[in-house]
Amino acid sequence: MQLPADMARLADGRRVHRTTPAGILALSLQPDAEARLREILGPAVGWLSYTAPGTDLRRALDELAEKDAATEAVVVQWVGLLVLGDSDDACAARSADLAARASAALEEELGGRRMLDARPVVAMRDVDEVAHLLRGALAVPTGRLEDPYHHWVLEYRSSEEIAHYASAEIASALVEAGPVVVDHAPLLRGTLLVQAPPYASLDALASRLREEVETRRRAYLAYADRCPGAELGPLDPTPRVVLLPGLGVFGVGTTRAQARRVADLAELNIRAQIQAIGLGGFAPPPEEVRAPVELAGATPVEPAGALAGQALLLAGAARSAAAAGELAAAGAAVLATDADPGSLAPLVGTEVETFECELIDDLDARDAVRRATTLFGGLDAAVLDAEVLGHDAVRDLLDEALHLLGGQGTGGTLLVVGGDAAVAALCERAARDAADARVRVCHAPGASPERIAMLALDALTDATGEPGAVVSIDAA
């Protein structure tokens, strides 16, 4: 976690490096935190009660370092571990050593025992059956024809630890306690725990998720109204973390990078809370400390890029690898598929996800769509290059993508590039099937590879067209 610029160095010239190891956070939440930390980490590690990162904390660190020159690190309540050193490498090494010491001490004290009373929940569903329903529930209507919804990218995580936490008897209380690190609160705001999800029926689950999200949004706005001293503008009350017992936790973000960051912090918070309770004490930041920081970071931010928050499948990357990169640069979360690993090679290591898939039958098409759902939480669009895929693969992908978009319930766009009269007939059939789901089917015959990104961008940002009719795009 980056510190403010005015905290990068102390008055004595030493660098300041901040980390938030779960074990040290758990120790810092105990009523005897200072004594425990000194016993485990040694006398060179100091303790400070909560001071927000900035000028006041920098002054407190300077005073502590001047009082005891042997101080090598400081644990700040609800902030984390601040390590002092002559170089970034020295700070990083010391941070890792202190985190390892804390982890070893907790392992010795807590062993492998479960810290929370919990009844395991069995979802009997895979994440790719459920994620798009959650993503649809989280979408925010904009009232604009050209982009009717503000979308989110989801990052899914699962583990025994998360499952134990989500099904714990005190899970609701832990969620309401909020993050154990104060300045993590804006990214983890409005955490939603869905109790007893009706996994047996996907229709019932979709309805329940929409109800839960709207209830949580209203509750968050009420929470903001009652928080004292908060000077508030417009707030974005959408939950940034969603826990589904039996399945896992989802981080919610406008971009994939943000969703990953949220999921990372959610996992850290879960681990620190569990360990703190196992140690016998749990003193998280009180609302009057957390709320002003949280709400200051809860104002809506205009997304970067025309496609921010949108998730896109690009199938047939042999001609369109460059287009995948351009669409990702416009803000979209992109999964590119192709049968030839060589066609995907230029995208490896970029922001674009890749999936080698031959698309021989409908099962392969289903795998491609499910892969996108697992990675991003769902889809808003699919770009299908008929010149690479062929008739049957286009048919299967249209069917699978339309099925997912219908379940998600927020419309979408299917763009077919190239193809002959038989492919055009497939587009017409898909458009009729898609009318009730408010999914637009576009066809751009004769498109050259270098124009695919531009055509996709136009199709995704222009909502014109009659329901049930193919939108023909001039590829010239």
SS3 21: coil
State the alpha helices, DSSP H only, in 280-340: 287-296, 321-329
**Strand ranges for 299-379 from DSSP E:** 311-315, 333-338, 353-356
SS3 341: helix
Q: What are phi and psi of 250, to 5 degrees?
A: -120, 130
CB 95 within 8 A of CB 20: no
Q: Residue 7 above 90 pLDDT?
A: no
Task: Please tell me the distance from the alpha carbon of residue 352 to that of residue 314, in angstroms, as a whole number.
Answer: 10
Residues 142-156 pLDDT 10s: 887 777 888 999 999
SS3 15: strand
**pLDDT at 296 (0 to 100):** 82
Q: At what angle do helices 362-376 and 391-408 cross, to 10 degrees?
A: 40
Residues 310-367 pLDDT 10s: 999 999 988 888 899 999 999 999 999 999 999 899 998 888 999 998 888 888 999 9
**pLDDT at 233 (0 to 100):** 65
Residues 393-424 pLDDT 10s: 999 999 999 999 999 999 999 999 999 999 99
Q: Residue 1 above 60 pLDDT?
A: no
Q: For domain 5-110, give the fold.
A: L-fuculose-1-phosphate Aldolase (3.40.225)
Residues 51-108 pLDDT 10s: 888 888 888 998 988 888 889 999 999 999 999 999 999 999 999 999 999 999 999 9
**Strand ranges for 125-219 from DSSP E:** 140-141, 149-150, 153-157, 192-193
Angle made by CA atoms 151, 157, 158, in degrees to the nearest 5: 140
User: What is the reported pTM?
Assistant: 0.93
Residues 211-225 pLDDT 10s: 999 999 999 989 888
- Closest Cα to residue 335, out of 280, 376, 366, 305? 376
Residues contacting 248, CB < 8 A, separation 6+? 127, 156, 157, 158, 159, 162, 163, 166
Task: Please tell me the distance from the alpha carbon of residue 295 to that of residue 165, in angstroms, as a whole number.
Answer: 26
Domain segments of the chain as ranges: 5-110, 127-296, 311-472
Angle made by CA atoms 335, 468, 205, in degrees to the nearest 5: 60
Q: What are phi and psi of 86, to 5 degrees?
A: -80, -15
> What CATH code is assigned to 311-472?
3.40.50.720
Long-range contacts for 327-330 (Cβ within 8 Å, ≥24 apart)? 327/383, 327/453, 327/456, 327/457, 328/352, 329/305, 330/305, 330/306, 330/457
- Closest Cα to residue 66, out of 81, 92, 84, 91? 84
Count Cα neighbours of 20 within 13 Å in the Cβ-side half-sphere: 24
**pLDDT at 350 (0 to 100):** 87
Which CATH number is correct for 127-296, 3.40.225, 1.10.3470, 3.30.360, 2.60.120?
3.40.225
**pLDDT at 304 (0 to 100):** 67
5-110 with 127-296: one CATH topology?
yes
AA identity, residue 448 = S
- Closest Cα to residue 153, out of 245, 263, 237? 263
Which of the 8 DSSP states describes residue 37? H
Please report which confidence band the pLDDT of residue 232 belongs to, taking 50, 70 and 90 as the band edges: low
Provide mean pLDDT across the span 382-398.
94
